Amino acid sequence: MMLLKNGVVNVKMKLQQFDINVVDLNDYYFIAHTLECVLVGKKCDSSYEKLLKRLKDDTVLELHLFNEEKEIFATRIDGKLLVYQELEHQTDQEGKRYKVVEREYMLDDVIQSKTSYEGLIVREYINFDENCLAYVDRTVLCKLIKKRVEK
């Protein structure tokens, strides 16, 4: 870690080139920001083929792959799609006891109109500092919510 003159912390981490063919994640959801649109879906959905085409065409700007185990995030840096360290869902890590808050967010109406999903569930992992003050240690995407069928 390096502290810059203006007080901004610059953390150097090794980012890897993203490759969808080596993703270690079972039955996952995705949210992809491309040059043309936002793609939302699950690996088994028809929209997954659109995602694969956008990856092949090199038009994906950001990509989130996630399930109830972990989240993988990739972003375009200097013309390459690079993947960050995975965020895992867990309640106890290295002696830290997390309180978990699960939140549900509605997807934008435009996205809802083009998909079979209406919302997104995320988990916020709450930790406590030395003064027992709570803070959000990390936020991890969990799953998409299918549209409810009205009777």
Task: Dump pLDDT digits (tens) for 77-118.
Answer: 999 999 998 998 876 666 666 789 999 999 999 999 999 999
| The residue type at 19 | D
Q: Is residue 151 part of a domain?
A: no
Q: What DSSP designation does 15 have?
A: -
Residue 101, number of CB atoms within 10 A of its CB? 12
| The residue type at 87 | L
3 state DSSP class of 5: coil
In the beta sheet, which residues pair with residue 144?
A: 120
Q: Is residue 21 part of a domain?
A: yes
Alpha-carbon span 40 to 32, nearest angstrom: 7
pLDDT of 13: 59
Q: Is residue 107 part of a domain?
A: yes
Q: Which one is predicted more confidently, 145 or 2?
A: 145
pLDDT of 93: 60
pLDDT of 113: 93
The count of structural domains within the chain is: 1
Alpha-carbon span 119 to 137, nearest angstrom: 23
Q: Is residue 64 part of a domain?
A: yes
7 confidence band (pLDDT: 50, 70, 90): very low
Q: Is residue 5 part of a domain?
A: no
pLDDT digits 0-9 by tens, 14-61: 788 999 988 989 899 999 999 999 999 999 999 999 999 999 999 999
Q: How many helices (H) and strands (E) does the chain have?
A: 2, 14
**Domain encompassing residue 82:** 14-146
pLDDT of 124: 93
Does residue 4 surpass a pLDDT of 50? no
pLDDT of 119: 97
pTM of the full predicted structure? 0.83
pLDDT of 96: 64
Q: Is residue 118 part of a domain?
A: yes
Residue 35 tokens read as: 């040059």
Q: Is residue 68 part of a domain?
A: yes
Q: Is residue 124 part of a domain?
A: yes
pLDDT of 17: 92
Pairing of strands 99-106, 117-128: antiparallel
pLDDT of 128: 87
